[in-house]
């Protein structure tokens, strides 16, 4: 592709003229403002309804919480002992801790790591009902 020297010279003059025009325009404008629209994200939270029977261990722990037993921090062992005291003992106590963890994941309980007791013992998880538990749980009777 052969470009004539006259064409290159003409393009050079046109670029210089454009640069001069832009420079003149910028000198006459005191400031330039650019508005950028940023999308706003709206996250819509919808409640999920989970039905839990009072005969299930989850339901029984929720009843303990609604009765005020979990207004203070309690270990899984303390919860199991209270279930036993009320005659609500599960078939196997190994299900108490997973049920407590599941209720934490549902936002009905909160947990913290308790202090170590004795030599070589692991720190225990302690559980407590969330402050607004009664607004999150609806008890229906037939």
Looking at per-residue pLDDT, the higher value among 93 and 100 belongs to 100
Q: In three state form, how does the secondary structure of the chain look?
A: CCCCHHHHHHHHHHHHHHHHHHHHHHHHCCCCCCCCCCCCCCCCCCCCCCCCCCCCHHHHHHHHHHCCHHHCCEEHHHHHHHHHHCCCCCCCHHHHHHHHHHHHHCCCEEEEECCCCCCCCCCCEEEEECCCHHHHCCCCCC
In a domain, 93, yes or no: yes
Res. 80: pLDDT tops 80: yes
Range of the domain at 74: 57-136
Residue 101 is part of a domain; what is its CATH number? 1.10.10.10
Task: Note whether residue 21 is domain-resident.
Answer: no
Q: Is residue 23 part of a domain?
A: no
Question: What is the rounded distance in angstroms from the CA atom of residue 87 to the CA atom of residue 82?
Answer: 9
Within a domain: residue 125?
Answer: yes
Residue 90 to residue 56: CA distance in whole angstroms:
8
Residue 62: inside a domain, yes or no? yes
Is residue 5 domain-resident? Answer: no
The pLDDT, as a whole number, for residue 125 is: 92
pLDDT digits (tens, 9 = 90+) for 3-31: 788 888 899 999 999 998 888 887 887 77
Contact present, 16 and 23 (Cβ < 8 Å): no
Res 45 pLDDT > 90: no
pLDDT over 70 (residue 119): no
Give the per-residue pLDDT at 112. Answer: 93
How far does Cα 14 stand from its chain's mean position? 59
Number of domains in the chain: 1
How far is Cα 44 from Cα 39, in angstroms, rounded to an integer? 16
Kindly state whether residue 81 falls inside one of the protein's structural domains: yes
Of all residues in the chain, the percent with pLDDT exceeding 70 is: 94
| 17 within a domain of the structure (yes/no) | no
């Amino acid at each position: 592709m052969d470009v004539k020297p006259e064409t290159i010279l003409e393009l050079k003059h046109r670029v210089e003229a454009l640069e001069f025009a832009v420079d003149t325009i910028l000198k006459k404008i005191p400031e330039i403002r650019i508005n950028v629209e940023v999308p706003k994200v709206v996250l819509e939270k919808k409640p999920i309804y989970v039905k839990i029977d009072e005969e299930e261990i989850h339901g029984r722990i929720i009843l303990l919480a609604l009765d005020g037993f979990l207004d203070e921090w309690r270990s899984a062992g303390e919860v199991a002992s209270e279930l036993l005291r009320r005659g609500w003992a599960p078939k196997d106590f190994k299900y108490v801790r997973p049920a407590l963890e599941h209720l934490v994941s549902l936002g009905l309980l909160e947990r913290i790591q308790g202090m170590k007791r004795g030599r070589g013992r692991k720190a225990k998880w302690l559980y407590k009902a969330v402050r607004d538990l009664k607004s999150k749980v609806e008890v229906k009777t037939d």
